[in-house]
Homo-oligomer: A and B are copies of this chain.
Amino acid sequence: MRYHPHTEDEIHEMLQVAGARSLDDLFRSIPEPLRLKRLLQVPPALDEIALFAEMRRLAGKNQTEHPPFIGAGAYPHHVPPVVDQLLLRGELFTAYTPYQPEVSQGTLQALFEWQTFVCLLTGMEVANASMYDGASATAEAALMAARLTGRKKLVVSAAVHPEYRRVLATYLASTGDEVVTVPFGADGRTDLGALARVVDGDTAAVVMGYPNFLGVVEPLGEAAALARKAGALSIAVTAEAVAFGMLKGPGELGVDVAVGTFQSFGNSLGYGGPAPGFFATSQQNIRQMPGRLCGATVDKQGRRGFVLTLSTREQHIRREKATSNICTNAGLAALASTIHLALLGRRGLADLARLNYERARLLRDAMKRAGFGLAFSGPTFNEMAFEVGDAEAVVARLARKGVAAGVPLGRFFPGEPRLRGALLCVATELHTPELIELFARDVRN
């Protein structure tokens, strides 16, 4: 049998050594009535050739020929093929959490580099070894804020990614924490006036998108200052981390916690996962952080090396007192980001951000020529919402051509008729000027 290396003789011999009469006999500790008396009803075994044929059939049913014009939390970017070739080195991708640092220095040093990249891009002081995704990172940030402040009110901008807000709500359902949502204005920015009105002495944290779900760049510094004044933490949420190549890190703007996903670096869209969530904050909060942390130390001979550290925060030591229940995280996805960021480097990241910015301007101009204006007046990076009339109809029409046109904002804000015509679109380095031109024309007819 595939991947089972046992020969009949070996099975026989091993059973004897183990003192069992048969393979079934090995399971004598399972009471008879609890055993399965039949084979599992899963489809019959496929050989590798048939398996590939079947999987190709499925992959072929997806229509992904052109880069989608959809962002909305997952961004189509070019992943240099070298990333994958390094990622597939078995020593890296078949290891697990580096519990034994002497044989895990590869994973550990890469994690330390990941943490540093997250800090440099977000402008924060410390970062952890990755989170499941941006949404749960946001929820964990809110929980940390509640722990740190001892308060129970979370003030969340309505322009934070709706899926992140849903996950936050799920996480908070059982804690008794309260979520207050603050609306955004016609410019797509969070209404700072409204924010000021709800942030108070009970507020644990203010949560803002950066750029927000509408593609708009928020006045993050002002929101952070507002939170600070009330003794609350500020949390910035970033799903399109390429923006950090152009926009200041939240840490530079006085934010306390930066979370989100680095999917844009090194990770394909992959129908939504895996991708590495990140979590960064200031030094003073490290003992309340969730997740694994990699730290530098020395070995017995004084040579620098890396270990997982501060594990007294974690479930395997602290159990019900742990700062979170995270065990397995998004290691390999974080490694992919680390490799991609290593390749990009200082200039590459800036160039990539600039290129995304420019392509989005090409999109804006092309859409304008096609007769579609912007839904929001606020500043944007590589994503923006257009007024296209009936957004759902446009999406359905373009889908029939195999084009993924963007997402209708109305879907996420059913209560807001003003957003019925808004189509959220992205343009990245993958969207060539020709493709953008074509797209704008397709949207029109």
A26 at the interface (CB under 8 A from B): no
Complex interface: chain B residues within 8 A of A78 (CB) = 48-49
| A427 vs chain B, min Cβ distance (A) | 13
A429 to B50: give the CA distance in the assembly, Å: 10
Q: A88-B85, A88-B88, A89-B89 are in contact. Are A430 and B49 (CB under 8 A)?
A: yes
Which A residues, 58 to 92, have Cβ-Cβ distances below 8 Å to chain B?
A: 78, 80, 85, 88-90
Chain A 413-436 near chain B by CB (<8 Å), digits 1 or 0? 000000000000000011000000
| A5 vs chain B, min Cβ distance (A) | 11
Q: Which of B49, B80, B88, B90 is within 8 Å of A48, CB to CB?
A: B80
Chain A 382-398 near chain B by CB (<8 Å), digits 1 or 0? 00000000000000000
Chain A 134-164 near chain B by CB (<8 Å), digits 1 or 0? 0000000000000000000000000000000
Main secondary structure of the interface of A (DSSP, over half): loop
Complex interface: chain B residues within 8 A of A49 (CB) = 78, 429-430
6 more contacts with CB within 8 A, not counting A48-B78, A49-B429, A85-B88, are A48-B80, A49-B78, A49-B430, A85-B90, A88-B88, A89-B89
Q: From A50, which residue of chain B is reached at the shortest CB distance?
A: B432
Chain A 214-225 near chain B by CB (<8 Å), digits 1 or 0? 000000000000
Complex interface: chain B residues within 8 A of A429 (CB) = 49
Q: From A90, which residue of chain B is reached at the shortest CB distance?
A: B85
A80 to B89: give the CA distance in the assembly, Å: 17
9 interchain pairs, CB-CB under 8 A: A48-B78, A48-B80, A49-B78, A49-B429, A49-B430, A85-B88, A85-B90, A88-B88, A89-B89
A90 to B89: give the CA distance in the assembly, Å: 9
| A254 vs chain B, min Cβ distance (A) | 35
A430 to B88: give the CA distance in the assembly, Å: 27
Q: From A48, which residue of chain B is reached at the shortest CB distance?
A: B80
| A352 vs chain B, min Cβ distance (A) | 11
Which A residues, 277 to 309, have Cβ-Cβ distances below 8 Å to chain B?
A: none
| A78 vs chain B, min Cβ distance (A) | 5
